[in-house]
């Protein structure tokens, strides 16, 4: 199992140098978020992740969760780590002061989430899953609901879940059937089965607050008849403490490919008492308020997989001796050269590195937009919301796809040893595979991006972003050392718009062309976005070098990684562009009954 | 767990119609391999795979193997299935008659291997691993060694292994340290530790025959000082039955990502008695005689993953209802449409299908070449050997990479359910991941292809193949219905040679450019090869349609799949070509110490 070392220098590079977070927090009016304060928080968080969470990552995978009729037991050390997490005040960091939080911006929490997720993704899902429930109650709860539930979620004393999926529906929530029938006392009786409820049941806290999607009697069919309900595991007594057991039980937990340390629960609601939250039949709209942040949360799993597998593979590649460099021995006194001398090993390591550091910049940038959505006003808020809405499906799908690729490179660098559990590399692959599925699959994100976000705005959402890229390219036009990045970036930025227009035109004739193009379009978009952020990182690094720095090697490595990204990853856009141009006829014409004989 | 149904119609299409196996076996002089005979064999094999092996695939994964000091227990049903396999005479099918075999060509065995591997890869490795030991003894054993060991391996009464890897070396066998010291009786005392020995210990047979790579006293360093030894688990007594226990034990089995039903063993040789096989210090050369066939065997894992995951995903996609088709409801009476109506689901299914059927054609074609290598003479044999040598690294690396991709699509089609063990899709991903690592990683295969096979022959190996493609394109020049395939194929076939020449020229300046280009070159080559075989399949299908057939839907689906391949997969070559053209400087210039700070 590789040690986890929080990449603090890289994190600071993105936050402080590339994204100028000091100015961001000052503009935001987040006085508490001074550079020193942030440094201290991140440094403390890193220690917790390295010393408490990382050591129980592999053991958590091996032990897994255990179900019994009494509930779910989490792996050894998980409960204690959570207690320490609550003790340290971490859950409340980004919550509003009026509900007992520390009122720090969401973006700082995203940095913490990266470190937690890389150290131990399965563990991180327990506090992480509270986010949806907390955001829903914060936004739509009555003052009483907030007093009863929100304060406990903010302190971390209780955790929360979002109960969406049912056996017959995941992506298509319109066909969910869980019922909510009014009780005489103003509450509702919730009946139905929810599946894939992460952290739906566990032994870390005294109570679990489920936010459940269900239908009121006579509600319209489809997505317009869904309402939200708060359904606690234990009904709070008059003092607000867990009282009687509610009619909700965990029927079983899933046996699955990875994230064994996290309980994926089948939750049976059997006339469970619940309270309506938000307006009737507007459940899905209420959820959109926090969906973007939840999806950034999932995109972090891609970043975490890339960073974690890169750390493991790099250490191994410097240590493991095999064969001689094709250009002559590099370790003549040893019986062979360390494998990091071999070009293809470097290709894999640099791909992991380019993905980890590139997606970090993308995700942190989006997190700053989320700060403005939460705390900004007027145009500022709207612009941030537009950019965030556009970036969200790209982050969720592209970063997780790229992270999964990086995790596989991690296994590959280890050769046969990569397949063996003790090295920890295969666990990252298994754990990360879910990221491409939950919170909306890659296919669902791609339709959201191309259909809802871009074509439904007549391309406005894309133009916001390409304009920003265009301005950046213009600013660097005369900069000789940036030419290797600006030329291809500017070409692709233009092509991106052209491809979109072409899909739009084809889709007018045939709506299936949207779906046929969608995933290639999403991946294309992801690579161009990453190219933009790598160019920005290269620009910052080159500025630092030009100004004179004692960290020349560090900054130089950023420029080198950017070059690698442009040379050896970005050309994938050519394939995606061609596949989009070839259209959907060859995938649509086969009769469903003719796929196999 | 999806049912396995042997794709007999597809198998016959490739064998009988595309590759004209009837003529092949007649030319080969394999009188027993009449079309009826082959049909009967394949049909019986299919039944065994569907009814005996497939049902213990998932349970084998869940139970895994159990180690104790007494040995390794295989999962429930494995031993019984093996007994049935031996009973049915399957192990001896392709073995020479003089050693008790049935003398059928290797290619028929490859078809059987596909079906076994798709039904239950872990189980298939137990008989499969005998191949190397059997081929070594057949080729290099003394008559006594053949009498003692080969006959039992042929009958399947005993199984065999190849013991190559050691803790400090896998790809780089030159640094192996296992010692062989002469005993007074002409045997040798073998001492050392071997790891990753698949099927190294198990409970299915009475004896296991290890072929072990070791060094004689004073042997030259590196790969030129390696010899081969036969080391049985039990020393045969005078009657040839297992007698005294030899000094070889299984120290432990690995905990690993997949193939849980197969024991991956650490084998400790502690002065174990062994007998030299083949000439001293020529061990690696002796192994090359069967390496190609062993690697075809591994490439089948990619085909198997694609076929198995396609079968599972297709059934699910026709059954699962979610959302409406973008072009209007296709199942208006249901609450939603089956997901096979959605373009992106079709993209994934067709990608799986194109990979499964395309790699099948490639692998079977190579198997026919292997028949000629084994049974041909003179030019015929040499030509087949050249083509096979060229194709082998492509088959091993490209087919497994593509198969792994297909397996991941299988998970993705299932959405969240793909991550859950009971559906069986995630098992295929876990099982298949090893295929990219063992028998030479993708990186090792890529160096073999570009360095040893192509550049060292000044491109001759490639020209053999591109010439064949060129002739095929010429033959179809005037064929309007083939134009959609012939035009791009012919362009790529030309570009393939140009890229190779360019790499050759760059490599003269800098040997690292070979490694830097290698994996992209291998993948590029794989896509072009697959394009050739898809064009051939389309040609055959179109001929059948033109001739008039009652199976129009079947043949039409072949043409449609070929179109899909050319439209939506083949353009990936553009990315690989560009990445190769961009060279290796951006991956070579970073100092090993600057990958992380």
Percentage of residues of chain A with pLDDT beyond 90? 96
Residues of A with catalytic function = 439
**B445 in Cβ contact with B397 (< 8 Å):** yes
CB proximity A508 to B under 8 Å: no
Interface of B with A in 528-567 (CB under 8 A): 551, 553-554, 556-557, 560-561, 563-564, 566-567
Query: CA-CA distance, A163 to A172, in Å (whole number)?
Result: 14
Q: Cα separations (Å) of A72 from A249, A251, B169?
A: 11, 10, 43
Inter-chain CB proximity B594 and A553 less than 8 Å? yes
pLDDT confidence of residue A60: 98
CB proximity B401 to A under 8 Å: no
Question: pLDDT, tens digit, for every residue of B403-456?
Answer: 999 999 999 999 999 999 999 999 999 999 999 999 999 999 999 999 999 999
Closest to A126 measured CA to CA, from A54, A197, A48: A197
Interface of B with A in 267-306 (CB under 8 A): none
Strand partners, A180: A190
Query: CA-CA distance, A466 to A461, in Å (whole number)?
Result: 9
Question: pLDDT, tens digit, for every residue of A510-551?
Answer: 999 999 999 999 999 999 999 999 999 999 999 999 999 999
Q: Tell me the average pLDDT across A460-465.
A: 95
Chain position carrying tokens 């403390």 = A44
Q: Cα separations (Å) of A446 from A289, A396, A442, A450?
A: 20, 10, 6, 6
Q: Which of B346, B487, B538 is the best substitution to test chain A (most A C-beta atoms within 10 A)?
A: B346
Q: A–B: how many Cβ contacts below 8 A?
A: 306
Query: CA-CA distance, B456 to A28, in Å (whole number)?
Result: 63
Query: CA-CA distance, A188 to A190, in Å (whole number)?
Result: 6
pLDDT confidence of residue A403: 98
Phi, psi angles (nearest 5°) of residue A231:
-130, 100
Residue B446 C-alpha, separation from nearest chain A C-alpha, in angstroms = 9
Interface of B with A in 22-61 (CB under 8 A): none
Which residue of chain B comes nearest to A255, CA vs CA? B421
Nearest 10 degrees: Cα torsion B348, B352, B353, B356: 170
Inter-chain CB proximity A175 and B335 less than 8 Å? yes
Q: Cα separations (Å) of A479 from A551, A567, A574, B404?
A: 22, 19, 26, 43
Inter-chain CB proximity B416 and A196 less than 8 Å? yes
3-state secondary structure B262-330: CCEEEEEEEEEEEEEECCCCEHHHHHHHHHHHHHHHHHHHHHHHHHHHHHHHHHHHHHCECCCCCCCCC
Choose which CATH entry (1.10.287.110, 1.20.140.10, 3.40.430.10, 3.30.43.10) describes domain B287-447. 1.20.140.10
**A209 in Cβ contact with A133 (< 8 Å):** yes
CB proximity B159 to A under 8 Å: no
Using pLDDT thresholds of 50, 70 and 90, give the confidence band for residue A1: low
Chain B neighbors of A579, CB-CB under 8 A: 567-569, 571
Residues of B with catalytic function = 439
Question: Given A344, A430, A554, which is nearest B446 (Cβ)?
Answer: A344
Query: CA-CA distance, B229 to B186, in Å (whole number)?
Result: 12
pLDDT confidence of residue B1: 63
All residues at 6 or more sequence positions from B76 whose CB lies less than 8 Å from its CB, including other chains: B56, B59, B60, B63
Closest to B391 measured CA to CA, from B372, B375, B406, B408: B372
> pLDDT tens per residue, chain B (597 residues)?
678 999 999 999 999 999 999 999 999 999 888 889 999 999 999 999 999 999 999 999 999 999 999 999 999 999 999 999 999 999 999 999 999 999 999 999 999 999 999 999 999 999 999 999 999 999 999 999 999 999 999 999 999 999 999 999 998 999 999 999 999 999 999 999 999 999 999 999 999 999 999 999 999 999 999 999 999 999 999 999 999 999 999 999 999 999 999 999 999 999 999 999 999 999 999 987 777 778 889 999 999 999 999 999 999 999 999 999 988 999 999 999 999 999 999 999 999 999 999 999 999 999 999 999 999 999 999 999 999 999 999 999 999 999 999 999 999 999 999 999 999 999 999 999 999 999 999 999 999 999 999 999 999 999 999 999 999 999 999 999 999 999 999 999 999 999 999 999 999 999 999 999 999 999 999 999 999 999 999 999 999 999 999 999 999 999 999 999 999 999 999 999 999 999 999 999 999 999 999
Which contiguous run of DSSP H or E holds residue A72?
strand A71-73
Closest to A406 measured CA to CA, from A488, A491, A489, A302: A302
Interface of A with B in 208-247 (CB under 8 A): none
pLDDT confidence of residue B88: 96
pLDDT confidence of residue B32: 84
Query: CA-CA distance, B443 to B436, in Å (whole number)?
Result: 9
Query: CA-CA distance, A262 to A204, in Å (whole number)?
Result: 12
Query: CA-CA distance, A63 to A312, in Å (whole number)?
Result: 22
Which contiguous run of DSSP H or E holds residue B509?
helix B483-509
Give just the sign of the alpha carbon dihedral A341, A531, B578, A555.
Answer: negative
All residues at 6 or more sequence positions from B132 whose CB lies less than 8 Å from its CB, including other chains: B160, B161, B162, B211, B287, B290, B294
Complex ipTM, two decimals? Answer: 0.97
Inter-chain CB proximity A595 and B438 less than 8 Å? no
Query: CA-CA distance, B203 to B205, in Å (whole number)?
Result: 6
Percentage of residues of chain B with pLDDT beyond 90? 96
CB proximity A504 to B under 8 Å: no
Q: Is the pTM of this model over 0.95?
A: yes
Q: Cα separations (Å) of B506 from B510, B511, B512?
A: 6, 8, 9
CB proximity A177 to B under 8 Å: no
Which residue of chain B comes nearest to A404, CA vs CA? B408
Question: Given B168, B347, B514, which is nearest A587 (Cβ)?
Answer: B347
Query: CA-CA distance, A209 to A130, in Å (whole number)?
Result: 8
Residues composing chain B: 597
Interface of B with A in 437-496 (CB under 8 A): 437-438, 441-443, 446-447, 451
- Tell how strand A208-214 and strand A159-163 pair up: parallel
Using pLDDT thresholds of 50, 70 and 90, give the confidence band for residue A507: very high
Question: pLDDT, tens digit, for every residue of B73-88?
Answer: 999 999 999 999 999 9
Neighbouring C-beta atoms of residue A281, cutoff 10 Å: 17
Question: pLDDT, tens digit, for every residue of A3-45?
Answer: 899 999 999 999 999 999 999 999 999 988 888 999 999 999 9
CB proximity B334 to A under 8 Å: no
Which residue of chain B comes nearest to A312, CA vs CA? B596
Question: pLDDT, tens digit, for every residue of A563-579?
Answer: 999 999 999 999 999 99
Please provide the DSSP assignment of B468-494 as one string.
Answer: HHHHHHHHTTT-GGGHHHHHHHHHHHH
Chain A neighbors of B175, CB-CB under 8 A: 321-322, 335-336
Neighbouring C-beta atoms of residue A86, cutoff 10 Å: 17
């Amino acid at each position: 199992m590789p040690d986890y070392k929080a990449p603090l220098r890289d994190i600071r590079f993105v936050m402080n140098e590339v994204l100028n977070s000091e100015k961001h927090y000052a503009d935001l009016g987040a006085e508490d978020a001074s550079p020193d304060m942030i440094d201290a928080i991140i440094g403390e968080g890193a220690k917790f992740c390295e010393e408490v969470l990382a050591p129980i990552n592999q053991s958590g995978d091996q032990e897994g969760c255990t179900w019994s009729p009494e509930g779910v037991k989490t792996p050894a050390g998980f409960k204690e780590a959570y207690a320490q997490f609550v003790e340290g005040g971490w859950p409340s960091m980004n919550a509003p002061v009026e509900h007992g939080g520390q009122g720090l911006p969401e973006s700082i929490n995203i940095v913490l989430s990266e470190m937690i997720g890389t150290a131990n993704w399965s563990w991180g899902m327990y506090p992480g899953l509270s986010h949806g429930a907390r955001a829903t109650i914060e936004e739509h709860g009555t003052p009483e609901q907030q007093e009863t539930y929100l304060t406990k979620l903010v302190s971390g004393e209780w955790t929360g879940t979002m109960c969406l999926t049912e056996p017959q529906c995941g992506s298509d929530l319109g066909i969910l059937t869980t019922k909510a029938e009014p009780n005489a006392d103003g509450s509702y009786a919730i009946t139905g089965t929810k599946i894939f409820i992460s952290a739906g049941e566990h032994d870390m806290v005294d109570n679990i607050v489920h936010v459940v999607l269900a239908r009121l009697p006579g509600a319209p069919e489809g997505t317009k008849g869904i309402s939200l309900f708060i359904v606690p595991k234990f009904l709070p007594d008059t003092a607000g403490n867990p009282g009687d057991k509610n009619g909700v039980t965990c029927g079983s937990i899933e046996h699955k490919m990875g994230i064994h340390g996290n309980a994926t629960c089948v939750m049976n609601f059997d006339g469970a008492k619940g309270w309506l939250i938000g307006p009737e039949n507007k459940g899905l709209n209420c959820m959109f308020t926090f969906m973007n942040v939840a999806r950034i949360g999932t995109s972090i799993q891609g970043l975490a997989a890339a960073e974690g597998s890169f750390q493991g593979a790099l250490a191994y590649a410097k240590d493991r001796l095999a064969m001689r460099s094709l250009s002559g021995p590099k370790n003549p006194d040893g019986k062979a050269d360390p494998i990091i001398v071999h070009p293809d090993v470097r290709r894999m390591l640099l791909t992991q590195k380019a993905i980890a550091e590139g997606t970090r910049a993308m995700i942190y940038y989006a997190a700053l937009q989320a700060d403005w959505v939460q705390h900004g006003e007027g145009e500022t808020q709207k612009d941030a919301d537009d950019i965030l809405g556009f970036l969200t499906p790209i982050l969720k799908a592209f970063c997780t796809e790229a992270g999964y690729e990086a995790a596989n490179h991690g296994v590959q660098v280890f050769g046969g040893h990569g397949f063996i559990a003790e090295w920890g590399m295969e666990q990252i692959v298994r754990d990360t595979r879910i990221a491409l599925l939950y919170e909306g699959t890659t296919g669902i994100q791609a339709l959201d991006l191309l259909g809802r976000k871009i074509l439904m705005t007549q391309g406005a959402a894309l133009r916001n972003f390409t304009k920003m890229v265009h301005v950046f390219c213009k600013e660097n036009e005369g900069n000789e050392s940036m030419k290797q990045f600006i030329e291809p970036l500017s070409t692709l930025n233009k092509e991106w718009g052209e491809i979109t227009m072409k899909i739009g035109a084809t889709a007018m004739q045939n709506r299936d062309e949207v779906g046929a193009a969608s995933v290639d379009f999403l991946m294309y978009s992801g690579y161009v976005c990453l190219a933009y952020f790598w160019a920005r990182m290269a620009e910052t690094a080159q500025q630092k070098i030009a100004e004179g720095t004692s960290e020349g090697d560090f900054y130089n490595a950023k420029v080198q990684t950017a070059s690698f990204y442009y040379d050896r990853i970005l050309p994938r856009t050519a394939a995606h562009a061609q596949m989009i141009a070839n259209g959907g006829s060859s995938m649509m014409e086969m009769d469903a009954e003719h796929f196999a004989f």
